[in-house]
C-alpha cells in the first residue's frame, strides 16, 4: 500500500471528523478510519468527486469521492453562485427533478433548499420524473437552469447530478468550465447554504405532465394508423424507473388500448431488484419483457432506462423469434420514418435538418440525401445535438436526431434524448408498418434493401490503473502518428482527426478543416469499401472505444441472413486488422 497516499487520505478523513458534518457522517468516517482494511477509506477519500461537463456521477456514500449531501451541496452552491453572477439583477428560477434511485429524492430536496437559500426560485417536481420532462420544463417555465438527480442506467450503487442551461440542454462551454470553477471554490460545508427558504420552493407535477404529453402528441405523423391499430399489442417495461409515470399514459392518450406492462419491473425501486444492470442496451434487462411478449404474442417490446431518456426495443423476425434492435438501427428507423412520412404528407421544407453523432451509422446520411434534407454531424452526446439546434434556431427547422447509444430526440421542445417521445413515435411506426402489412423487422429490411446493408459494433478495450491510462494514451498516439493504410483488406481513403480538426484525403494528401465547435480526441478511418472505424478514449472510464461499421449491398430479402453473416465476419476481420 502507498503509505504517502494513505497518510493524505487519513488527513482528509480527519478533516471530515473535525468539520461541520453531521454526526452520522462522522460516525461512518470514524468506522472507516478504525478499520484494518483501508480500501474503503482510500476509495472514499483519495480524490474529490469531480463536477465535470456532465455534472456529477459516482457511488453513493460518505467521503469526498462519493455522492452524498455534501458533494451534491457543493455542486448546487457552486451552480447557485454562478447563476447569481451570470443573471445579476434578474429574477432567477430553476427546475429540479429526480429519478427512482436511492437518495435521489433526498438530494433533490436538499438542492431545492440550497437554491432557495441563495434567493433562487425553485420548481420542484412532486415525485420522480423522466429526464426529458426536466429539459422540457426548463423552457416551458422560462427558467435559467435546472438539474436532475440521476445516474441514468448505471448500477444501483451510483447516483448523479445533471445540470441544464436555459435552453433545456446540458451545459457546454463557456458555462461548463465557469460552473466547475465555482464548484471547486467550495471547500467546506460551512460555505453551503443548507437552510432553505420555503417561500421560494414551488411543487410542480400534473400541469407540466399534461403540457409535455400534449407536445409529444404534436410530433405524431400517422394518427389514422393508430386508430386502425388501436389494439396493437405493446409490451413495455420501465425497468423500475421513471418511465412508468408517463409512457403508459402517453400511449393510452395516443389511442393504444392494449399496453401490457411488465408488472415486476413497474415497481419503483432504486435497488433494481429484477436486473443486474437497468440498461435497455443489455439483453438481460429485456428478458422479462420478451417472456411476456412471447406469452401474449405481442407486436413490439419497448423498454426505458431508470431516467427514461434511453429506449431499447425488441421485435419478431421472419421466423417469429424475438431479437433486439440496436441503437444504430433504431436511429436509422426514426430517420427514415420521419422523412418518409413528412415527404408523403408534404411537410418537408427546404430549411429542415437532422443531426447524428459522428460515431452513428453513415446510412442515415444516405437516407437524408435521398430526401434532400440537410444532416449535421456532431460529437457524441445530446448536449452537442442540442448545440446544433441552438446554433440554427430561427434559421432552420430541426426535425429529428440521435445517436447509436439508444437515444433519440424527435423534436426540439426537449433538448436531450427522450424515451417518452421515442416510445410514442415507435408505437406509431409499428401501426404505420402494419397498414402496409409489414412488421418492424421487415421495415428495417426495406431500408437496407433501398440504401444498402450496414452492420455496426462497438468495442471497449479496458486498461485499468496508471499503466492502463498510459497505454491508452500510447494507443491513441500510435493511431494518430501511424494510421492504418488498409483495414480488413480495403484501403483507407479518408482520415478525420477531431483533435486537429482536419480531414485528410489519403490518396491526394489534400486536407480540409472540419467545422466543429471544439476539439475532441477522436480519430476516424474510412475505407474504399465503405467501412468506417472510429477510435476514442472514454472520458469517464479506463477504456479506449472502437466503433466499427461495415457496408454491403442487399439485393433481396432472401439474402438478408447471408449478408448479416458476411458482415459479422467482416467485423472480425476489422478487429484483427486493428489488433483488437
Can you read off the three cell numbers belonging to residue 87? 443573471
* Whether residue 398 is found in the same domain as residue 356: yes
Spatial neighbors of 172 by CB under 8 A, at least 6 apart, are: 53, 383, 384, 387
* Whether residue 261 is found in the same domain as residue 281: yes
Domain that includes residue 310, residue range? 212-451
* Whether residue 276 is found in the same domain as residue 418: yes
Q: How many domains does the chain have?
A: 3
Q: Let me know if residue 33 belongs to a domain.
A: no
The owner of cell 420521419 is 338
pTM of the model: 0.96
Instruction: Report the CATH number at residue 104.
Output: 3.40.120.10
From residue 81, how far is each of 107, 174, 566 by CA, in Å?
A: 18, 15, 57
**Are 143 and 430 a contacting pair, CB within 8 Å?**
no
**Are 310 and 153 a contacting pair, CB within 8 Å?**
yes
Of the candidates 276, 218, 214, 278, the one whose C-alpha atom is nearest the C-alpha of residue 242 is: 278
Q: Let me know if residue 141 belongs to a domain.
A: yes
Of the three residues 451, 474, 506, the one that is the final residue of a domain is 451
* Whether residue 90 is found in the same domain as residue 186: yes
Of the three residues 451, 470, 496, the one that is the final residue of a domain is 451
Q: Let me know if residue 9 belongs to a domain.
A: no
**Are 452 and 554 a contacting pair, CB within 8 Å?**
yes
CA distance 534 to 526: 9
Q: Let me know if residue 523 belongs to a domain.
A: yes
* Whether residue 196 is found in the same domain as residue 225: no
Per-residue tens of pLDDT for the chain, all 580 residues: 588 899 999 999 999 998 899 999 999 999 999 999 999 999 999 999 988 878 899 999 999 999 999 999 999 999 999 999 999 999 999 999 999 999 999 999 999 999 999 999 999 999 999 999 999 999 999 999 999 999 999 999 999 999 999 999 999 989 999 999 999 999 999 999 999 999 999 999 999 999 999 999 999 999 999 999 999 999 999 999 999 999 999 999 999 999 999 999 999 999 999 999 999 999 999 999 999 999 999 999 999 999 999 999 999 999 999 999 999 999 999 999 999 999 999 999 999 999 999 999 999 999 999 999 999 999 999 999 999 999 999 999 999 999 999 999 999 999 999 999 999 999 999 999 999 999 999 999 999 999 999 999 999 999 887 788 889 999 999 999 999 999 999 999 999 999 999 999 999 999 999 999 999 999 999 999 999 999 999 866 779 999 999 999 999 999 999 999 999 999 999 999 999 9
Of the three residues 423, 451, 479, the one that is the final residue of a domain is 451
Q: Give the number of C-alpha atoms closer than 13 A to the C-alpha of residue 528, restricted to the C-beta side.
A: 8
Of the candidates 279, 187, 294, the one whose C-alpha atom is nearest the C-alpha of residue 235 is: 294
* Whether residue 253 is found in the same domain as residue 378: yes
Find the catalytic residue in 111, 145, 152, 304.
Answer: 152
Instruction: Report the CATH number at residue 546.
Output: 3.30.310
* Whether residue 184 is found in the same domain as residue 264: no
* Whether residue 442 is found in the same domain as residue 312: yes
Helices (DSSP H) in 94-222: which residue ranges?
Answer: 104-117, 131-140, 175-184, 206-218
The owner of cell 491508452 is 472
Q: Let me know if residue 532 belongs to a domain.
A: yes
* Whether residue 421 is found in the same domain as residue 472: no
Task: Give catalytic status of residue 188 as yes or no.
Answer: no
Of the candidates 161, 162, 121, the one whose C-alpha atom is nearest the C-alpha of residue 142 is: 121
Amino acid at each position: 500500500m502507498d503509505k504517502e497516499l494513505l497518510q493524505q487520505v487519513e488527513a482528509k478523513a480527519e478533516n471530515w471528523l473535525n468539520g461541520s458534518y453531521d454526526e452520522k457522517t462522522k460516525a461512518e468516517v470514524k468506522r472507516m478510519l478504525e478499520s484494518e482494511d483501508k480500501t474503503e477509506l482510500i476509495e472514499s477519500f483519495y480524490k474529490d468527486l469531480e463536477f465535470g461537463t456532465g455534472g456529477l456521477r459516482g457511488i453513493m456514500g460518505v467521503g469526498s469521492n462519493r455522492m452524498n449531501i455534501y458533494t451534491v451541496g457543493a455542486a448546487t452552491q457552486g451552480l447557485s453562485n454562478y447563476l447569481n453572477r451570470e443573471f445579476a439583477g434578474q429574477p432567477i428560477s430553476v427546475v429540479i427533478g429526480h429519478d427512482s434511485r436511492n437518495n435521489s429524492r433526498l438530494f433533490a430536496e436538499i438542492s431545492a433548499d440550497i437554491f432557495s437559500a441563495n434567493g433562487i426560485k425553485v420548481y420542484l417536481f412532486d415525485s420522480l420524473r423522466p429526464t426529458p420532462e426536466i429539459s422540457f420544463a426548463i423552457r416551458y417555465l422560462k427558467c435559467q437552469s435546472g438539474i436532475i438527480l440521476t445516474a441514468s442506467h448505471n448500477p444501483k450503487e451510483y447516483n448523479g447530478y445533471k445540470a441544464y442551461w436555459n435552453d433545456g440542454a446540458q451545459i457546454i462551454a463557456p458555462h461548463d468550465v465557469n460552473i466547475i470553477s465555482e464548484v471547486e471554490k467550495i471547500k467546506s460545508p460551512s460555505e453551503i447554504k443548507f437552510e432553505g427558504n420555503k417561500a421560494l420552493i414551488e411543487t410542480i407535477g400534473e400541469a407540466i405532465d399534461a403540457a409535455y404529453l400534449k407536445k409529444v402528441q404534436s410530433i405524431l405523423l400517422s394518427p389514422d394508423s393508430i386508430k386502425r391499430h388501436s389494439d396493437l399489442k405493446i409490451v413495455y417495461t420501465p425497468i423500475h424507473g421513471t418511465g412508468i409515470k408517463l409512457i403508459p399514459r402517453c400511449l393510452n392518450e395516443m389511442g393504444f388500448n392494449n399496453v401490457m406492462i411488465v408488472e415486476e419491473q413497474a415497481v419503483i425501486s432504486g435497488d433494481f431488484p429484477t436486473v443486474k444492470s437497468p440498461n435497455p442496451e443489455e439483453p438481460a434487462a429485456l428478458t422479462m419483457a420478451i417472456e411476456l411478449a412471447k406469452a401474449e404474442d405481442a407486436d413490439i417490446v419497448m423498454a426505458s432506462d431508470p431516467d427514461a431518456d434511453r429506449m431499447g426495443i425488441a421485435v419478431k423476425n421472419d421466423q417469429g423469434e424475438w431479437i433486439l434492435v440496436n441503437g444504430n438501427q433504431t436511429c436509422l428507423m426514426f430517420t427514415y420514418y420521419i422523412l418518409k412520412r413528412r415527404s408523403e404528407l408534404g411537410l418537408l421544407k427546404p430549411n429542415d435538418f437532422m443531426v447524428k453523432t459522428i460515431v452513428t451509422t453513415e446510412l442515415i446520411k444516405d437516407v437524408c440525401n435521398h430526401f434532400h434534407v440537410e444532416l449535421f454531424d456532431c460529437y457524441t452526446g445530446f448536449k452537442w445535438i442540442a448545440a446544433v439546434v441552438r446554433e440554427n434556431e430561427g434559421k432552420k427547422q430541426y426535425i429529428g436526431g440521435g445517436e447509436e447509444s439508444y437515444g433519440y430526440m424527435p423534436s426540439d421542445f426537449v433538448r436531450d434524448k427522450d424515451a417518452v417521445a421515442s416510445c410514442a413515435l415507435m408505437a406509431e411506426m409499428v401501426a404505420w408498418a402494419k397498414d402496409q402489412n409489414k412488421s418492424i423487422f421487415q421495415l428495417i429490411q426495406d431500408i437496407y434493401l433501398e440504401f444498402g446493408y450496414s452492420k455496426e459494433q462497438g468495442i471497449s478495450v479496458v486498461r485499468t490503473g496508471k499503466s492502463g491510462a498510459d497505454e491508452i494514451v500510447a494507443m491513441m498516439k500510435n493511431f494518430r502518428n501511424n494510421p492504418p493504410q488498409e483495414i480488413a483488406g480495403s484501403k483507407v481513403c479518408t482520415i478525420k482527426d477531431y483533435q486537429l480538426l482536419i480531414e485528410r484525403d489519403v490518396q491526394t494528401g489534400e486536407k480540409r478543416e472540419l467545422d466543429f465547435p471544439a476539439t475532441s480526441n477522436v480519430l476516424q478511418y474510412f475505407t474504399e469499401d465503405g467501412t468506417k472505424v472510429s477510435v476514442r478514449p472514454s472520458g469517464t472510464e479506463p477504456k479506449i472505444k472502437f466503433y466499427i461499421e461495415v457496408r454491403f449491398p442487399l439485393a433481396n430479402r432472401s439474402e438478408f441472413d447471408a449478408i448479416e453473416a458476411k458482415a459479422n465476419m467482416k467485423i472480425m476481420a476489422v478487429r484483427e486488422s486493428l489488433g483488437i
